Structure 1
Amino acid sequence: MGGLTTTWLINAGRVALINAVLNTLQNYWAQMVPLVAWDKDTLPKKEGGLGIKKADVWNVATVGKLVNWIYCKAGRLWIKRINDVYIKNQEWHNYSPPTDSTWVWKNICKVKDKLKNGYTDSIWTLSPKGYSIKGGYDWLSPAHVNLDWTVIVWNNWNIPKHSMTTWLRMHEGMNVKSKLVRFGCCADDLCVLCQLQPETVEHLFTTCVYTGRTHLEV
């Protein structure tokens, strides 16, 4: 018997799969990067983030694929049904759903309204290849300034652990004692390595005599 696929699962099984896998992945990343604001975590790496997708925006971009099929009048039975029952002779670009429409249809129309400025004459004008989920996501996400230091942090020569540590350092996200003492997590803020100065990010990376000596020995 071949490998298990979602086509073999009943709806209850699919719900269990979502709870067991997708929610677990979301919880994992949410716990891995609590030291830096989530708005920064979800930025592209070149803009100082970790490149984690925003689930709500990605969901809109995914539904945008359905919106695009309606724009293109794709040869699918459900699109023909929608045109016959809902849209009829109206223009899809400016269409508004009736108040008694289903929840699903109303939300598809809401996504259409969010994406409509990207269309001209039923054509997605932001890419010569037409609409894509990634393209829709990028368009819905506001652009920020590219940061020079990201090239040093994220490259093929760095060890991932070192890249993550440097990224946290750039965002002042490291749990040094000078930060922890303010939350009552430790009694003093002295550096655990040299016991001479307060433990700050700048101290650990630049002025600590212990880390400086260790670096020279290596």
Structure 2
Amino acid sequence: MNLLQLSPDELEQLWTKWEKYLVSPESFKNLSVKPLQSAAQLQHEDLDKRVGEKGSDFMTQLTQLTARSLRQFIRDPGALIGRIVQTIFFAVLVGLFFFGVDNNAQGVQDRAGVLFMVMINNIFMAAMAGISSFPPERAVFLMEQSSENYSAWTYSFAKTMAELPFQIAFPILFVCIMYFMVGFVQTVEAFFKMLLMIVLIGNLGYSFGLLTASLFSTPEISMAMVPLVMLPFMIVA
């Protein structure tokens, strides 16, 4: 109902009915028209404190951002399948090239070459995953940052936490195939030491890729900068 469209007589009747309602027994049950028993308070300490707060607490931000990142991974099965195929392919390739390395002086050099290739491959694969994950979210991230919904540190930590299960699963798949084909030391301790090393290298590469993607405006520039930064470390490795 638009009150401006009513005639003066209709407005008068409406006002009269409203006044009668205020003194009727039905109005006593309506809290919205109940008169205040005390003076109204214009300020409230707890309410003012909550109004002044921006965003939510750290755990809520971390939980929501991690869940959102996980949903994005799940909604892109093609990328997940591609990484699985890539991991299996490289593990089999390395295993075939260095199959049954001898336990002698020449074998020591071959094992060093295997370790170098494994580390470089895993750090580059993880870095590419980090680079490809941020550009689609850049606009949303900047908008939410301007609203002070969360900090950049919380966002990067949540992205790392969401990627962590994959950075554990892919190295397990890789090591289970490559380790026994090459013929590394057949002990549980040595196996898990190598697995831990690859997991740490993968998380380092993903964080570096995420950092590079945030520094440059396009993924092409980020992908070109990663080898440029990694090259000095590869030379002195």
TM-score by length of 1: 0.31
Larger radius of gyration: 2
Instruction: Give the structure with the larger helix fraction.
Output: 2
- Higher RCO (CA-CA < 8 Å; seq separation 6+): 2
